[in-house]
Structure 1
Amino acid sequence: MAALGRARRRRTPDLEEGESYYVSMTDMMVGVIFIFIIMLSYFALQFRQSTQALTEAKHPETAALLQTATALTPRDVTVEIDEKARVLCVPETVIGGAGQDRRCFSFGPPTKTTRKTAAAGEAQGTLMRFLDADLRDAGAPLAGDTAGGTLYFRADQLFEPNSATLSAGGRKIADDVAASLAKRLPCLSYGGPTTSTCPEGEAKLALVNVVSQTSIDAFTPEGQNAAALALKRSAAFHQALTGAQPVLGALRSAPADQPGSQPLLRVASLGQSQEGASRGGDDQTVSIQFQMAQ
């Protein structure tokens, strides 16, 4: 028993040494992770500041160049400028050359992109991402990319053949689209219900256009009928949207008492004359185009 007790006492320092080693390694790993988090936060802040400086700059290209040019030195230089042709010439010696020639550069007019325009583009991009996610979650058959500010649908998935009557599947699509629009558009327009969730000063929509597009042979009765069918389908889809969500019919591009105020949702059709075009309108598409106010 005495020998067993001595053996246990000899193992105790080994156990304590192992625990100490484990604690030291844990502390070191926590310290490394903490340093990594600090570095990541610093670079994220720098990236955000740089991005904000570029997007809000009056001349983004110049702002980008100034971020890389860290050793600019002032010089007294005589330059020649042709404002009409937008050409600027400087002596070659100014930019490190040894000859007596000139180096000329073209320049464009000042960009007119304003903070308001940038905000409108950002608001449209956010809107399209939300609509895309809503409709894909609902299983709506979107055709094409929504990043350009347009939702595309094939007419044969919405309407009965050679008709402006919505099919059962088309009515389901219209209901899904209307539900998403009713959730997203009131904050970007006038005349709808206002909620506290709408951001202050957010850009507004100028127009949401329901457009039916088709290729036609404009010189035949069939082609002219296809053009008329395209307009009827635009109107039918518009009516299905506003019927499913009446709030969409109340939305306007500007306050109702302001001159030029129009309903936000409107209708259009586009028929392009083309040889070999379909005569029955079975190649038509119906799209919803979103245009921001500038």
Structure 2
Amino acid sequence: MESSRRKRPSEEAESYFVSMTDMMVGLLFIFIIMLVYFAIDYQEMTAELSESQLEYQETVAALSSAQSTRTALLQALEQTLRERGVQVTIDTQTGVLRLPEEVLFAKGAWELAPTNLQKIETVAATMAEILPCYTYGASCAPQNRARHRVDAIFIEGHTDSDPMRGQMDNYDLSMRRAVNTFRALRVSAPLLETLRNGPDAEAQSILGVSGYGPDRPIDIGDTEDAKSRNRRIDLRFLMQTPGGNPENPSSLLEDLP
């Protein structure tokens, strides 16, 4: 008699079924683990996305608020200067207070005439009155302190496209005009030298100069009126922005003293 007997077909089928069941249970277990892993990963990604969206919304709100502050500053300067007889224009989108050539310089000249020097003295006095509440370095009543601060004011010289005679070109002219305006502002109102873009020792002066020659026209026409508009001094106001120095908003949502 044989030492072992062959398995019956029913036993073989049962053994095969048990093996398949074990395999399916194992696959189901692996599937559940993967599902849990991806669910946790999805939750983490969703949380990170929500946090990023919140930070983005806060940044956009801070930028919008800073721009509103700059607009209010420009409007205050424009209104006060007009009341004092100095005709200026503002561009709230680019943050510019514009001084036309006739306010300061004769055509082709870079020295301030005595009558125009009086106008720049008015501009300087007005800036010295209003800017302390938008900067550091000078006293301001707490109730008047602006929420956002000025980071820099660039005094920009601009010319028309007509070439200069002699060795000096329009870039030289624009820079000389900007520098002379800068010097006249600081001499007329020494307080402007003390204004800074931060409360600490590393903070910098808010005033700077640049000359662009004919490269940044505001009127591309070739008429005398267009050229006259392009000959100008722009005071460009830059506000502190997210990630900027010295404060970043959450820096724009800055800590005020």
Cα gap change, 1:228 to 1:256, in 2 (>3 Å): farther
Residue in 2 that maps onto 1:34: none
Q: What residue is the counterpart of 1:210 in the other structure?
A: 155
Does the alignment pair 1:267 with 2:212? no
The separation in 2 between residues aligned to 1:136 and 1:157, in whole angstroms, is 12
In 1, distance between residues paired with 2:160 and 2:58? 36
Shift of 1:202: 1.4
Are 2:194 and 1:250 aligned? Answer: yes
Q: Which residue of 1 aligns with 2:60?
A: 114
Identity %: 21
Mapping 1:20-35, distance limit 5 Å: none
Bigger share in strand: 1
Q: What is the SS of the residue equivalent to 1:272?
A: coil
Match of 1:89 in 2: none
Cα separation, partners in 2 of 1:221 and 1:175, compared to 1, 3 Å? closer
Matches within 5 A, 1:39-58: none
CA contact 1:216–1:223 (8 Å) conserved in 2: no
Whether the 8 Å contact between 2:137 and 2:199 is mirrored in structure 1 is yes
CA apart distance, 1:154: 1.9
In structure 2, what is the equivalent of residue 185 of structure 1? 131
**What corresponds to 1:236 in structure 2?**
180
- Confirm or deny that 1:227 pairs with 2:174: no
State the Cα distance separating 1:198 from its structure 2 match: 3.2
Pairing 1:117-132 to 2, within 5 Å after superposition? 117-132=63-78
* CA 1:112–1:225: 2 relative to 1, 3 Å: same
CA contact (8 A) 1:214 1:272 kept: yes
SS of structure 2 residue aligned to 1:286: strand
TM-score (norm 2): 0.60
Aligned counterparts of 1:229 and 1:126: Cα–Cα separation in 2: 32
SS at 1:114 equivalent: helix
Letter paired with 2:232: T
Deviations 1:70-129 (A, max 9, x none): xxxxxxxxxxxxxxxxxxxxxxxxxxxxxxxxxxxxxxxx76743322221121111111
Between the two proteins, the alignment pairs up a number of residues equal to: 178
Whether 1:291 aligns to 2:227 is: no
Deviations along 1:199-242, one digit per CA (max 9) or x if unpaired, are: 3x710111111101124478x86585221011011011111111
- 1:131-163 deviation digits (Å, cap 9, x = unpaired): 111011011121x44433211122233124432
